[in-house]
Amino acid sequence: MTTKRMSEPDFDRLLTAWFETDAHVREPEALVDDAITRVNRSRRVPAWLLHEWWIPMQHSMHLRAVPRLAPVLLLIALLLAAIVAIAIVGSRPRLPDPFGPAANGLVAYLSNGQVYSANPDGSNPIQLTFGDGSASTPVWSRDGTKFAYRLTGPTSNPSSSSESDLVVVDADGTKPITIDRGARDISPASWSPDGRWLVYARVDGTNDQVFIAAADGSKPPVGIGNPQTVNWSPIFSPDGTKIMYFVGQEGDGIGVMNPDGSDWHILNTTPFKAIDSATWHPDGDRIVVAAAGATEATDLWILHVGGSPEQRLRVPGQAEVGPSWSPIGDRLAYLTTGDGVSFRLHVADADSANERLLPGIYGHINPSWSPDGTRIAVVNDLGSVVRLTLLDPDGKAEAIVIDAVFAARPIAEPVSPTAWQRVAP
């Protein structure tokens, strides 16, 4: 039996006829072209959505637990506390640098045995101390937040005007702290630049000695320096690393020592027979002294802490007293006298050049510069009414006069007439 073999074209025609007869749905003729067009317009699927990129569970990391609510609340509380702390610190007044120029704050002075303060123009006087005792020698801390003063009266020994307390109060006169009680012949206090310590002199036994005490009253006063000599009127250096003091009953020399009382020595090689006053230069390397030589009137001397020979600044025919450096140390104010009773105020460069005579006649009470260097305070106590005058060192602005003011000074010590509060610029 023979069969007829079907050719390939015949098979194709037969298969096509079957599809056309039996297929229920025919695809659109343009299906392929339309699909290609749509694919070209679609974005590619990210690889991480394809199942080939999924990581098997046995190779994946364990899911982290959702943080509990308590730690989250703690973090929020800490952040809020930090914000509040920053706000409180930011609201506090900015303090000035411990030395160098600053802005003018209040002027402290004495009236009727109490400490008062006023604005630099003399306005708004406010009484800061009260009570039956007599206050004197107010001295502001370098940051202007407190002042120290001497209190003579009921709390010390009413029967002895030479016994006093050393008291520290806040700038408004509140929160008193008694640093030393019943001290004999106590000198004006001097603050360390950081405000932590006070140095002063008082009689210990039979002689004046220097004492240092914590300004917050946490430590009792301790005597420092050479106990074999008479030491008085100590002053901290601008950087707080040294203490200057007068040596000898009449002021025979200027001594310098460390705050712990070590390395005490005399700076001047020229013999002095009397020292009127002395003050540090702002750089801490020099001290200007008003002192009399063995046979001559009182003159100004520059003493060098480093050991260089002293220099004499002399104005012929005049006695110079009460020297005071400007806040940056470029000028020097001092008083001159020809009769020893009335004094004139001078301003000169640090080397005594370019001297200027300012108007007015004043008493023998040392002038002092305002913290910003624009005014010099000087006292006229020659008449029946005491006047505190604030002068422009350049002679351009009008003088500011505060009447009925008694100088902020102890008896028989011609220290600064006023205490200037330093505030941040």
Residue 412's pLDDT is 42
Is pLDDT above 90 for 63? no
Residue 387's pLDDT is 81
Q: Regarding predicted confidence, which is higher, 279 or 15?
A: 279
Average pLDDT over residues 95-120: 86
Point out the least confidently predicted range of 11-25, 159-173, 241-255, 336-350: 11-25
Superfamily of domain 274-425: TolB, C-terminal domain (2.120.10.30)
Average pLDDT over residues 53-73: 48
Architecture of domain 68-97+129-266: 6 Propeller (2.120)
Model confidence at 94, pLDDT cuts 50, 70, 90, reads confident
Model confidence at 113, pLDDT cuts 50, 70, 90, reads confident
Q: Regarding predicted confidence, which is higher, 306 or 190?
A: 190
Point out the least confidently predicted range of 55-69, 264-278, 385-399: 55-69
Average pLDDT over residues 250-270: 93
Average pLDDT over residues 296-312: 89
Is pLDDT above 80 for 7? no
Average pLDDT over residues 103-123: 87
Mean pLDDT across the chain, nearest whole number? 80
Average pLDDT over residues 277-294: 91
Contacts of 153 (CB under 8 A, 6+ apart): 131, 132, 133, 134
For 100, counting Cβ atoms within 10 Å of its Cβ (0-12 exposed, 13-18 middle, 19+ buried), the class is middle
Is pLDDT above 90 for 265? yes
Q: Are 387 and 405 in contact (CB under 8 A)?
A: yes
Model confidence at 388, pLDDT cuts 50, 70, 90, reads confident
Q: How far apart are CA 334 and CA 366, in angstroms?
A: 7
Residue 235's pLDDT is 96
Residue 26's pLDDT is 55
Q: How far is the CA of 393 from the CAs of 304, 334, 346, in angstroms?
A: 26, 11, 9
Model confidence at 278, pLDDT cuts 50, 70, 90, reads very high
HEC sequence for the chain: CCCCCCCHHHHHHHHHHHHHHHCCCCCCCCHHHHHHHHHHHCCCCCHHHCHHHCCCHHHCCCCCCCCCHHHHHHHHHHHHHHHHHHHHHHHCCCCCCCCCCCEEEEEEEEECCEEEEECCCCCCCEECCCCCCEEEEEEECCCCCEEEEEEECCCCCCCCCCEEEEEEEECCCCCCEEEEEEEECCCCCEECCCCCEEEEEEEECCEEEEEEEECCCCCCCEEECCCCCCEEEEEECCCCCCEEEEECCCCCEEEEECCCCCCCEECCCCCCCEEEEEEECCCCCEEEEEEECCCCCEEEEEEECCCCCCEEECCCCCEEEEEEECCCCCEEEEEEECCCCCEEEEEEECCCCCCEEEEEEECCCCCEECCCCCCEEEEECCCCCCEEEEECCCCCCCCEEEECCECCCCCCCCCCCCEEEEECC
Point out the least confidently predicted range of 156-160, 373-377, 420-424: 156-160
What tokens appear for 296 in the block? Answer: 């001559």
What would the pLDDT profile of 194-204 be if each residue is shown by its tens digit?
999 999 999 99
Average pLDDT over residues 48-74: 46
Residue 416's pLDDT is 58
Residue 9's pLDDT is 57
Residue 61's pLDDT is 43
- Would you mind telling me the total number of residues written for the chain in this entry? 425
Q: What percent of the chain has pLDDT over 70?
A: 73
Average pLDDT over residues 109-114: 83
Domain boundary assignment for the chain = 68-97+129-266, 274-425
Q: Do domains 68-97+129-266 and 274-425 have the same CATH topology?
A: yes
